[in-house]
Homo-oligomer: A and B are copies of this chain.
Amino acid sequence: MFLADCQARLAFDLMTNTWNAVVVWSLRHGPRRPGRLREEIGGISVKVLTETLRRLEFNGLVARRAYAEAPPRVEYELTDLGRSLLGPIEAFGEWAFHHADEVMAAQDRYEPAP
């Protein structure tokens, strides 16, 4: 189905960035301003959040709206395309919820081959 140069590699390029999925997910309930996104996400620098939002915008997952006010106000929200990704992302969230303990147990058990 995928591997090498096929289309799913595209989806992987979208999701293998550390923050892409996290930011998409944090926009699931509606438009958000960058400052609030940073609070909700936690541990992401201004620079990386901006870069991530630009990348998501470039790929059509997120729309940016700037208002002509002072101080400036900007909001980001998911496009229809971005919302269509919430299901697959949630599938991973569900997986983690149900299997995180097994992963951690495996990590404890692990020892390198001789």
Tell me the minimal C-beta distance from A59 to chain B in angstroms.
5
Q: A88, B97: Cβ atoms under 8 Å? A: no
Q: Which of B12, B88, B103, B109 contacts A14 (CB 8 A)?
A: B103
Is A16 touching B16 in the complex (CB atoms < 8 A)?
yes
A binding-site residues for B, Cβ under 8 Å: 1-5, 7-12, 14-18, 21-22, 25-26, 40-43, 54, 57-61, 64, 66, 81, 84-85, 87-88, 90-97, 99-100, 102-107, 109-110, 112-113
B40 and A3 within 8 A (CB)? yes
- Counting chain B CB atoms within 10 Å of each CB, the highest count among A16, A43, A57 belongs to A16
* Residues of chain B with a CB closer than 8 A to A113's CB: 64, 66
